[in-house]
Structure 1
């Protein structure tokens, strides 16, 4: 069917003109489409200035990941030669539209969408390498995190704060940071939010662009709301998902609208509670969208099923869907472009040029009430006059967020002739948090980890941490941490750790002889450097209290009834960690080097046997420990890894306590001084000086399913034997100087942590060791 629509248009700067729109309505099996052919002509001999001809407005709807189809439409519009004069967008339409308004091309937007790590951007987490070294051990291993305010545990305002998403938008909008009026962007722009307190749509036309876009896509209960000008804003799609009239108000004479929204489900399709709740939430917005469609002159509705709002990893397919939908109207769009070019010229918007590095002349901190400017600026570590690249600046901002004292940290750069002013805006987290983690593994049993963290309790710039594992092998850690120094780049802490587990004793054939119940309390005072995010060095003063009781073994063969052991010592150390995540890291390295001097040791034996030699209180135990671990991505699906541990001590049998041995064996040993050896029983080898090396390969069979194969080697003779018997006792690993084992593991990354099943064996043994685990335990800050 063909119909004609006469539209009288008038630009503020131009003389009147008449726009005759020829509407061609074609009905196909799936849905009707309007192919709009615009024919423009002059009336009454008035000439139209090339810059003041009919203005084109572009409207981009919300729709989550489906909004990536907008990029495909933009590619076709650029191809035919149409560049919008105004843009409005909601939610994902605000992201695409806002960046296009900055001057990015469709090709650039496509590259951004396809290379972005959406799993990180849309998660309430950041890379482990972004977390401060003093917090890495506690980050990302809890399934549930709840705020504590006052004396009660509450619920978060949303599951995702979106720090990574905010950084992503801030980085991309850096060239327009100094533009507060969105009319002054390369393409004038508006985005829509919703006031959660009133339900009213809010048109965002000024302010900080990245924050406005983030507010427009703040899906309630998923993303936390964003406060702008005193109003708490959430996703505008709830009330105004397709802002056509808004682009007309901006001055658009011709409106091209692109909507990726689905139609309402019918009664038969509403098969679940989720379906009903979702439709009930957006039904009002759907009706408003249908009304707004009537104001468009050109309407494009990409078919995006079966993709959903969360299909961010299908960006290439969604962009193609948008391109296909626009190409179905290619002839009409091309005719419109050709007609408009007779009345005006189109000039593509370009991204404002900025320097490759920014000279920071001054720093201002906003939003902080509890944590001092000195602490934040000290973590930034940007001396006045420094020049930083975009990547370096983003890294420094991540260092502030990595302190875990803030829910969100974002920045603005205000350009000036003498340099740039860096404005750091922070949203402080609640004074306390409660975190919980259920975990299980076949070696250590089940447990519930509970973490209570309180900030600025007693003193400013402090953290009190109380962590307990209520389990078959219980654990407790209490720590009070205080940043000190002019730039808050040093810290002191005091704390205690408690471990309890059964320690077996094996004979040379690998048969268990005894089982001891060991309870160890480790007290410490620590001084360390915190200037660098991924490395630290310091000195620890410590004292251990250990009790050991035989629980298996008869009275004739046991060595004692009870041992109480205490020591006191010093431990200088250096730690470095750039691993990208705890579970299944794909790149980065971890280095740990320490030296220990036991200045005092004392043991008290109850009913020792005649053969047992008492602990020598005058003996000074020295040890040197070094660990190295690295992951190499050699393919998007393949990661190689290697790890090495060496321990050198002047350990002499009979002069020290069993707790001074390094306990090796099993998959996940969790005593204070212990480590894995695949193919052996848990704690099977009691080692003094040794070297352990491991290497392997991990293959990502699917997005969340991984297959890992590895070997490990244990050496107890060399290099110690080369250094002389005067210093080292060569103590074999249960009768052997060296051992070799292998390990095969399948891991599924789940919402509650890694679910792993593994099998291992030591070469030369017939028995296999099997292993099953879910979640994290307290000793495993990372997992192969």
Structure 2
């Protein structure tokens, strides 16, 4: 929302876009509030602690650090190792040691890359690196051998909107998951204690006391794409080790929410350290390890110059990004607020550490915040960082004179008399595998997942291959987190997938408001639905003018198609038209259906179902439509219980269900009813259907979208008797219906058509075709012009022999694809019903 009292800020669009996509849909608000509440509590705790220390002597923490550590004894070990290495540098190179310290600041870390570039150009050696948050990530990569040019390339070529989420490309998501996601605006996974206690999995002890509330998500994303990025860049140093053994000694800082102390990473897993130091509260899940719950290190020590000094740095160069005292008009959105609250929590350490650097570099970045990841903003900040370092030229040259001109440590150089190899970037250099392992899941699940791999032991793998496999695994929806490590110091490497199973249950919520049914709500309870295999149960209820309840049980054994049983009951009350009659008639009916079938839920772009069904339909004879059917056709057409078989299949490659920009949708269906209860003379009835819709793009903003539907009903006997009455074995289940925006909305056999409101009954053989020309003048906003026709006949021969549509239609529509469902306004006309208007907001169901 725009406030006229707050000036429009440069690049705010880019920041907001990144923020919106990172926090996502309705979760954006809840995660933001969670982050603010969390930080407020920690600020309160710190304020109370500060009050008790007000008149006390300055606290001296272990290892001479300015903030208390969660593991001081561990710190003392690696700090001693690093001081030993610095002593070796002094002894062999006869110069003082130089420490580089990088503060946190989110996207503003781009400025640190620019400053590093100028330091490199001056030829100043760096002997150790400390950092927090984005400074910890950049510092870690710098310590592993990535120079300023490489870091600039990473910043500039990154899709930050994707990196800050757990999103995978649509091509990896199973068809069934796509259909689920197109209905529910909010899905909340949850776990119960008994689920994990009975599962036999390795993580059951961690959850044995969890309740429903405690199993809810702790952040919008766990960091799937960030983890993949880190793992691809740190190969050769992914074993647990002392960070004094990196090409440059390195320490980064995270914050432990259990002890409210700093976690100083100087040993352990480099991947875990880099992920935890930048774990922004609310955006990313905390990192849980060794009894600690770790979040962004800026909340404890955002500018760790004290650690650099404790590591043995004689000279400290610090690049600091925080805004400890922003102006009134510089705290506006969630990015500004979270950034400022992180800075507030680290104020004590910041005030003690700010005077320690020998060279203090402060880029000028007032119009940017932690989420300013647009390409233009990043480029500007890199230039600002370079200029800020250049402004300190005299001080930096003074440092250079003290240390001399030393070859950069970035090229596998010898540091302190010892050779260190840089980390391997597998997007550039593929590596060989010695073994492939899965951690955190059962042997049976490991064997199942192994089938998803497109490589084996002895093969060379690169970033693209591992990203492909990781996306396949992530798309199963079975993991709350999944990461990988390439363990070993040199080839061949041991590939280990670290799996943490997700809560197996979920609650889904969807809503829709439109001019036909007014308001509807869709609720779903999924039990064991996120498991890799086994039994699953989905309970779904549609609440509104027309009710529907559905229970779906499935059994996935992993080695064969999934076995499904589905039972549903549906009630419809509304208006129904007949053929080209301009009038609509009141109708009410209810139906129940039971299905037993096989399907394969793991296919990505297609799906099939084959099985048996039982279906009952009952039309209220007291409604206008019911009385017409019973008097002019047959009373038996109002009700009946039918047993039959069915087969249907779908191919679906749209990138978005509602406003696709590419792809196609192709489906077919065949229903064969061969028994009617209580009617031994029933003639079997066959219904065949075919649907096709594709998107053809013209440039970046215009699309041509043809849409075709065919449906034909055949019987082994006559559908109409010699007396003109409809054959008594036929019911409304065996009639064609057309109209509205959704297929199957009011009846199973309903074919959508934009030019007809609600629904009308058609003849046994039906064909519709439409052509939409859609323009997108702005992002997520669409304008369309449509034209189409409907033709139906009671004879298949007549359908094929002549082209004479019963209804012509044209229409204009405008739509906006919001984060909680499309908003659409449709004005249309046909020669029978004349003008019509349809308005909707929300997902289709």
RMSD: 4.1
Is 2:438 the counterpart of 1:365?
yes
Equivalent position to 1:563, from 631, 638, 645: 638
Query: SS where residue 88 of structure 2 aligns?
Result: coil
State the distance in 1 between where 2:740 and 2:304 align: 61
**What is the aligned partner in structure 1 of residue 308 from structure 2?**
247
**What is the aligned partner in structure 2 of residue 28 from structure 1?**
none
Instruction: Within 5 Å, give how 1:536-575 maps onto structure 2.
Output: 536-549=607-620, 552-553=623-624, 557-559=628-630, 563-575=638-650
1:163 Cα deviation from its structure 2 partner: 4.5
- Greater strand proportion: 1
**What is the aligned partner in structure 2 of residue 309 from structure 1?**
370
1:170 Cα deviation from its structure 2 partner: 4.2
1:586 Cα deviation from its structure 2 partner: 3.9
1:315 Cα deviation from its structure 2 partner: 4.4
Equivalent position to 1:287, from 336, 343, 348: 348
1:95 Cα deviation from its structure 2 partner: 2.9
1:536 Cα deviation from its structure 2 partner: 3.8
Per-residue Cα deviation, 1:261-283 (whole angstroms, up to 9, x for no partner): 11235899999999999866642
Is 2:778 the counterpart of 1:701?
yes
**What is the aligned partner in structure 2 of residue 480 from structure 1?**
553
Structure 2 regions of 5+ residues with no counterpart? 1-83, 195-210, 412-421, 721-725
Instruction: Within 5 Å, give how 1:128-139 maps onto structure 2.
Output: 128-139=170-181
Instruction: Within 5 Å, give how 1:596-607 maps onto structure 2.
Output: 596-601=671-676
Is 2:293 the counterpart of 1:232?
yes
Is 2:797 the counterpart of 1:736?
no
State the distance in 1 between where 2:248 and 2:678 align: 78
**What is the aligned partner in structure 2 of residue 323 from structure 1?**
383
Query: SS where residue 344 of structure 1 aligns?
Result: coil
**What is the aligned partner in structure 2 of residue 511 from structure 1?**
582
1:730 Cα deviation from its structure 2 partner: 8.6
Instruction: Within 5 Å, give how 1:102-141 maps onto structure 2.
Output: 102-123=144-165, 125-139=167-181, 141=184
1:285 Cα deviation from its structure 2 partner: 0.2
State the distance in 1 between where 2:702 and 2:237 align: 39
**What is the aligned partner in structure 1 of residue 754 from structure 2?**
678
1:530 Cα deviation from its structure 2 partner: 4.7
Is 2:802 the counterpart of 1:760?
no
State the distance in 1 between where 2:767 and 2:750 align: 13
Instruction: Within 5 Å, give how 1:598-637 maps onto structure 2.
Output: 598-601=673-676, 617-630=682-695, 632=697, 634-635=699-700
Q: Is the 8 A contact 1:594 1:626 kept in 2?
A: no
Structure 1 regions of 5+ residues with no counterpart? 1-8, 17-47, 605-614, 779-784
**What is the aligned partner in structure 2 of residue 72 from structure 1?**
114
State the distance in 2 between where 1:632 and 1:319 align: 32
Q: Is the 8 A contact 1:61 1:259 kept in 2?
A: yes
Q: Is the 8 A contact 2:96 2:315 kept in 1?
A: yes
1:199 Cα deviation from its structure 2 partner: 0.9
TM-score by length of 1: 0.79
1:115 Cα deviation from its structure 2 partner: 4.2
Equivalent position to 2:515, from 435, 438, 442: 442
Per-residue Cα deviation, 1:291-317 (whole angstroms, up to 9, x for no partner): 2221112222223333333333x3431
Between 1:263-272 and 1:341-350, the stretch displaced more is: 263-272
**What is the aligned partner in structure 2 of residue 650 from structure 1?**
714
1:430 Cα deviation from its structure 2 partner: 2.0
1:621 Cα deviation from its structure 2 partner: 0.9
1:194 Cα deviation from its structure 2 partner: 1.2
State the distance in 2 between where 1:57 and 1:667 align: 64
Q: Is the 8 A contact 1:757 1:770 kept in 2?
A: no
Instruction: Within 5 Å, give how 1:11-160 maps onto structure 2.
Output: 11-15=86-90, 49=93, 53-82=95-124, 84-123=126-165, 125-139=167-181, 141-143=184-186, 145-150=188-193, 153-154=212-213, 156-160=216-220
Q: Is the 8 A contact 1:58 1:247 kept in 2?
A: yes
Q: Is the 8 A contact 1:537 1:573 kept in 2?
A: yes
State the distance in 1 between where 2:630 and 2:338 align: 67
Query: SS where residue 12 of structure 1 aligns?
Result: helix
**What is the aligned partner in structure 2 of residue 32 from structure 1?**
none
1:756 Cα deviation from its structure 2 partner: 0.9
1:698 Cα deviation from its structure 2 partner: 4.2
1:395 Cα deviation from its structure 2 partner: 2.2
**What is the aligned partner in structure 1 of residue 843 from structure 2?**
776
CA pair 557-227 structure 1, distance change in 2 beyond 3 A: closer
Q: Is the 8 A contact 1:464 1:479 kept in 2?
A: yes
Query: SS where residue 62 of structure 1 aligns?
Result: coil
Q: Is the 8 A contact 1:478 1:495 kept in 2?
A: yes
**What is the aligned partner in structure 1 of residue 253 from structure 2?**
192
Q: Is the 8 A contact 1:148 1:434 kept in 2?
A: no
Instruction: Within 5 Å, give how 1:569-584 maps onto structure 2.
Output: 569-582=644-657, 584=659
Per-residue Cα deviation, 1:392-411 (whole angstroms, up to 9, x for no partner): 33222222222222111111
CA pair 178-690 structure 1, distance change in 2 beyond 3 A: same
**What is the aligned partner in structure 2 of residue 392 from structure 1?**
465
Q: Is the 8 A contact 1:161 1:408 kept in 2?
A: no
Per-residue Cα deviation, 1:650-682 (whole angstroms, up to 9, x for no partner): 375745433334433223452333343222212
